[in-house]
Amino acid sequence: MSDANGVARDQLRAFIERIERLEEEKKTIADDIKDVYGEAKGVGFDTKILRKVIQIRKQDKDERMEQEAILDTYLQALGMIELPPDAE
């Protein structure tokens, strides 16, 4: 039975160490991304808009079109945009 406990303990330790390494890699990557945003901001790009563009690029075309249609509907309802004359 002690061998089984030793194996389970070794497996657990291996999982924990892998997760710790991956967490460190994730932090390094997050720092790298932050640096790239800083560079972009330094040359005049709006980082808030860059983040939005990246979010949009992750969506598939249908999902993006659906969200844009809903946004347009809400903006129209609030009087923030007007319908084109031929759309009424």
Residue type, 9: R
Is residue 51 predicted with pLDDT exceeding 90?
Answer: yes
Residue 24 is assigned to a structural domain of this protein:
yes
Is residue 1 predicted with pLDDT exceeding 60?
Answer: no
Q: What is the pLDDT of residue 20?
A: 98
| Shared-domain flag, residues 55 and 41 | no
Q: What's the predicted TM-score (pTM) here?
A: 0.70
Q: Which domain holds residue 38?
A: 1-45
| Shared-domain flag, residues 31 and 59 | no
Q: Which residue has the tokens 């249609």?
A: 69
Q: What is the pLDDT of residue 68?
A: 93
Quick one: angle between helices 47-58 and 2-42, nearest 10? 130
77 token code pair? 């309802």
| Shared-domain flag, residues 31 and 3 | yes
Is residue 24 predicted with pLDDT exceeding 80?
Answer: yes
Alpha carbons 7 and 4: distance in angstroms, whole number: 5
Do residues 47 and 55 lie in contact, with contact meaning Cβ atoms separated by under 8 Å? no
Residue 88 is assigned to a structural domain of this protein:
no
| Shared-domain flag, residues 1 and 35 | yes
| Shared-domain flag, residues 41 and 63 | no
Count H helices and E strands in the chain, helices first: 3, 0
Q: Count the domains in the chain.
A: 2
Q: What is the pLDDT of residue 47?
A: 98
| Shared-domain flag, residues 8 and 38 | yes
pLDDT band at 2 (very low <50, low <70, confident <90, very high): low
